[in-house]
A and B are shown apart, each in its own frame.
Chain A
Amino acid sequence: MNQAQLIEALGALVGPQHVLHSPEDLYLYGYDASLDRGAPQAVALPGSAEEAAAVMRLAHGENLPVTPRGAGTNLSGGSVAAAGGIVLALSRLNRILEIDLPNRCALVEPGVFNLTLQKAVAPHGYLFAPDPASQKVSTLGGNVGENSGGPHCLKYGVTLNHVLGMELVLPDGETVFVGGKAPDRPGYDLTGLLVGSEGTLGIATKILVRLTPQPEGVRTLLALFDDLGSAGRTVSAVIAAGIIPATLEMMDHTVIQAVERATHAGLPLDVAALLIAEVDGLQDELDEQAAQITAICQQQGAREVKAAHSQAERDALWAGRRGAFGALGQLAPSYLVLDGTVPRTRLPEALERVAEVGRRYGLAIGDVFHAGDGNLHPLILFDPQEPGILEKVRAAGAEILHACADLGGTITGEHGIGLEKIEAMPLIFSPADLEAMWAVKRALDPAGVANPGKVLPPRPPQQEVAA
């Protein structure tokens, strides 16, 4: 099937006006929020789950790669059409189909923005717990594909813990519903397998998510530290004291500089690190918990601990955190963000290793991250105009992932493997682990059309023969 035939066939399925193929469109849909690029043959924007399944069936019949795409905020190249073929853009599937308060769940289409769902359920006193920093622009389909996290995972868990089921288009175009409002359905947990599979095992066309009652109250604390290690040790000390805060976020000196320049929130520019801690729950218990955390910060040598006294103060704190990636534009034209994760007790060592890599490569690295989960976000700052810089940045990134793996952690906590981290997979998985993943991939996608080239490193040729 040549490109003209493909465009006609897709037009027959989703309507010609919903098939994009001009060079400009293909360029726009050729990249995401990572440093990777791809060259799709066509972009199809189905208007229903049935149309999405029809595109998948066509692709399966023609042996064409399909790359699902939400808002293109993917940070690891997962929504880049690495092998060409069709980009299946799910942005028109953007309806909230049902908000079921008695069962504390909602049925949504994959193109709904995370924040749109939050706003729809907030008036009823509920929230959807996963709230990645990109929530304004990232879609729930993307959140499911990546098993997104966000700042509240410490207490509330990741996307997986809040997905009850989904309507799934399998790589051969067949549709099944897995999971549901009734828990623990007999059989294998396909929902659990599919969450975080980055569109390589199937595509969710409806998602049943759990809703959580909003907490009655919140206390937000800001602690300033004169050295990074003390901030890191504070995280472990809080958890060890038996407190599970809703969130524990950290920013280092570099990021504080950028955020202050961008937001003028009044952050002191001479501190080494700041920690945002938030506890939520019943009003009756929050003051005591906040006092406990304050005491721990002081024991670990905090220069100052401030409490946000109003919603406005709290919002200002969070605006700095949520806008931190954007603020880094103040310091450098581009950055590579990593999200290696370590057991939280190894956090101080991990921070030292990151700083050491930065020094050795002569690269500025900022760190703004989910400290309570041990989930680092080192941001390697660079100017893409500088010759040879990309190779240097990638090499430094690979060393940081190596360090995370060495410390008993993992190479990605929430951004996914995509294209970007495939080469790092053997750092944490044995050949047998990867072979088992390949077995699962082949079982559900024997033709290899679902987002090929992502997540799993290519199998060595001799294994292909042996299998």
Chain B
Amino acid sequence: MNPADGNLAQVRQAAPGVAWLEAPADLAAYAVDGLTPRLAARPHTPRQAAEALAAAAGAGWAVVPWGGGTHMAVGQPRRRLDLALDLRSLHGISEHDRDNLTVTVQAGCTLAALQGALRAARQWLPLEAPDPSRATVGGVLAANTSGPRRLRYGTARDLVLGLEVALPNGELIHPGGKTVKNVAGYDLSRLFIGAWGTLGVLTAATFRLVPLALRSSTVWASFAHPDEAFAFAQALCGSRLGLAAVEVISAPLAGLPPTAGAALWVATLWEGSEAAVRRALREAPTLAQGALALGELTGPAHDALWTALARNGLGQGGPGSPLLRVGAPPSRLAEAWRLLECASFRQVRGGSGLLYAVWPAAEAMPLAAWRAELAQWGGYLALERGPLPLRRAEWVWGPADAAARPMRALKQALDPRGCLNPGLLGEDL
């Protein structure tokens, strides 16, 4: 007899209001890391999400929260999987307070749907994700996804004012609020951002919004040598011109022309008032010492380029190609670029200190040597995406350091039975 059978009824009974799915065909859609759940739930209210989570946690089950499914085959492979908690039916925009520049939205709303609704009020949430029409707000926050414009607007941690979170104990908590300034109590919302659903299940979020820019344009330049390309990027970051983003890439993505002899393309983004953008377009090119070619993009070509850059290297390699994320002090990005010389595609988020690299599927990666080199500069390397055997064999996030101890204590406090995405963030997290 399968010991799970009894549990199945027990879990269903503990949360009778929840719509459960248990047909094999339904469950197959939620398979991840080679594991298929025993049950799936698609709650229609935050309370139902909390009830389903508590029912599973009470039975000692492992739970994987689901959004758009764009970031599932990620992390250290989960050790167990019993319940898939699909948040996509929680997709409403609860409140868009236009004059307050805030929005409260449920976790299952896709980023694209949210942006579409905000655009009508000439506002937007300055958060980007590789696949915004599938990626949900909850997933974007759990993964702490960011895009090129983080340089200007920050990341989720800077934009979230409050959250609604279901905890394994069945409680729905509301850290933060809807004011830009708020120092009441612990800011627990920061803890759930980037936690990959290992501490709680996000059911809603309140964000700070910004007005849509009146004008947005690209200045690009191509270079033969990394030193010149990165000097250009650094010069812009230190200038007062009001740079919104600067990306360095190893291949001319959408709309950028190939240049003979070029090995690096630098794309710079200027957004704001008409006068400010006009000034930047005039002055930015003068800082591009040693450029082989220079140009401007506007309109659809400009939009296509920044949409492509927001993909963070996704889809650049063939199937099974690992995608690496390197974090480094911005001044070390040229060195990080050289360290990953043999990658099939590289993209650097200048000023922010991130490098995404796609590695050829069949080739071995000297991860330990890279990590040792990066650690000397205060950097790190994470295996952003990769096939299951690779994620099983390697340290996805890197070796644990001293900060792992307080992190384990926090995991133990909020998810004492270890039911949320067990193992995804590494041992005990």
Residues of B within 8 A of A244 (CB): 210-211
Chain A proximity of B134: nearest CB distance (Å): 22
Q: What's the Cα separation between A387 and B82 when bound, in Å?
A: 65
- Which of under 10, 10 to 19, 20 to 34, or 35 or more describes the interface residues of A? 35 or more
Chain A residue at minimal CB-CB distance from B121: A240
Segment at the interface with A among B86-94, B174-182, B261-269, B289-297: B174-182
Q: Is B185 an interface residue (CB 8 A)?
A: yes
**A183 near B353: Cβ-Cβ < 8 Å:** yes
**A440 near B330: Cβ-Cβ < 8 Å:** no
Q: Is A375 an interface residue (CB 8 A)?
A: yes
Segment at the interface with A among B22-30, B38-46, B61-69, B376-384: B376-384
**A160 near B187: Cβ-Cβ < 8 Å:** yes
**A370 near B99: Cβ-Cβ < 8 Å:** no
- B interface footprint on A171-207 (CB within 8 Å = 1, 0 otherwise): 0001111101111111111111101110001000000
Q: Is A1 an interface residue (CB 8 A)?
A: no
Chain B proximity of A176: nearest CB distance (Å): 4
Q: Is A416 an interface residue (CB 8 A)?
A: yes
**A157 near B276: Cβ-Cβ < 8 Å:** no
**A443 near B181: Cβ-Cβ < 8 Å:** no
Chain B proximity of A422: nearest CB distance (Å): 10
Question: Which residue from A201, A240, A428, A440 sits with its C-beta under 8 Å from B184?
Answer: A428
**A184 near B185: Cβ-Cβ < 8 Å:** no
Q: What's the Cα separation between A430 and B188 when bound, in Å?
A: 14
**B403 near A178: Cβ-Cβ < 8 Å:** yes
- A interface footprint on B266-288 (CB within 8 Å = 1, 0 otherwise): 00000011011011100000000
A-B contacts, CB under 8 A, total: 260
Chain A residue at minimal CB-CB distance from B158: A161
Q: Which of A175, A176, A435 has the most CB of B within 10 A?
A: A176
Residues of B within 8 A of A412 (CB): 182-184
**B186 near A103: Cβ-Cβ < 8 Å:** no
Chain B proximity of A131: nearest CB distance (Å): 14
Q: What's the Cα separation between A325 and B382 when bound, in Å?
A: 49
Question: Which residue from A146, A342, A455 sits with its C-beta under 8 Å from B186?
Answer: A455
Residues of A within 8 A of B241 (CB): 282
**A442 near B187: Cβ-Cβ < 8 Å:** no
Q: What's the Cα separation between A414 and B330 when bound, in Å?
A: 31
Q: Which of A153, A176, A185 has the most CB of B within 10 A?
A: A185
**A410 near B276: Cβ-Cβ < 8 Å:** no
Residues of B within 8 A of A344 (CB): 99-100
**B180 near A182: Cβ-Cβ < 8 Å:** no
- A interface footprint on B199-241 (CB within 8 Å = 1, 0 otherwise): 1000000000011101000000000000000000010011111
Question: Which residue from B97, B275, B353, B404 sits with its C-beta under 8 Å from A345?
Answer: B97
- Contact of A154 with B184 at beta-carbon distance under 8 Å, contacts A190-B406, A282-B276 already known: no
Chain B residue at minimal CB-CB distance from A192: B190
**A196 near B102: Cβ-Cβ < 8 Å:** no
Segment at the interface with B among A79-87, A212-220, A305-313: A212-220
- B interface footprint on A226-245 (CB within 8 Å = 1, 0 otherwise): 00000000001001101110
Q: What's the Cα separation between A442 and B328 when bound, in Å?
A: 33
Residues of A within 8 A of B174 (CB): 429-430, 433
**B406 near A444: Cβ-Cβ < 8 Å:** yes
Residues of B within 8 A of A373 (CB): 179-181
**A370 near B181: Cβ-Cβ < 8 Å:** yes
Q: What's the Cα separation between A410 and B185 when bound, in Å?
A: 10
Residues on A facing B (Cβ under 8 Å): 100-104, 125, 146-147, 149, 153-154, 157-158, 160-161, 170, 174-178, 180-193, 195-197, 201, 213-216, 236, 239-240, 242-244, 281-282, 284-285, 288-289, 341-345, 370, 373-375, 408-417, 421, 425, 428-430, 432-437, 439-444, 455-456
